[in-house]
Amino acid sequence: MLKYCAAAAALGIGWFVVLLIPAVTREWLLADVFQNLGCLVVASIIVALAARKSISSADTFGEHLLRATVIPYLGGLVYISLSVGLIWLQTVLYGGLANLHDTLSLYVMGLSAAAVSFFVVIPYGLLCQYAMSSVSNTDRA
């Protein structure tokens, strides 16, 4: 299990690097590098653990491609949720009120940015799918 989580964390760092390619995601990620990198790593681990059975059960190229297309966007939802949670936490700690409109806007903007970045998301998602499938099959817990 530790090897699987370590691989997911390493691929989370890779997501940060890959998402620096499109301008729309680069601007988002560079706004707060350490927070965004941390959220990507944690989201990668959460999604890898939640989807482990699905990831390891893929046999054909089509099954791998399907997971490489869907799982990264689910990871995007987890990443945005973690990011929003940190924003809300900072807002509340400093005595402010969190804004639901801004929160929902982050989900729309984040998923739109990820959709526009499909040309890097799907290929890297396929690499991640194969890597995590391989690690999952060798690291049974």
pLDDT (tens, 9 = 90+) of the chain, 141 residues, equals 899 999 999 999 999 999 999 999 999 899 999 999 999 999 999 999 999 999 999 999 999 999 999 999 999 999 999 999 998 888 888 887 777 888 899 999 999 999 999 999 999 999 999 999 999 877 664
Phi-psi region of 99 (alpha: psi -120 to 50; beta: other; left: phi over 0): beta
For 22-32, letters b (16+ CB in 10 Å) and e give beebeebbeee
Contact 91, 98 (CB under 8 A): yes
pLDDT of residue 33: 95
pLDDT of residue 139: 62
pLDDT of residue 126: 95
Segments making up each domain of the chain, as ranges: 2-138
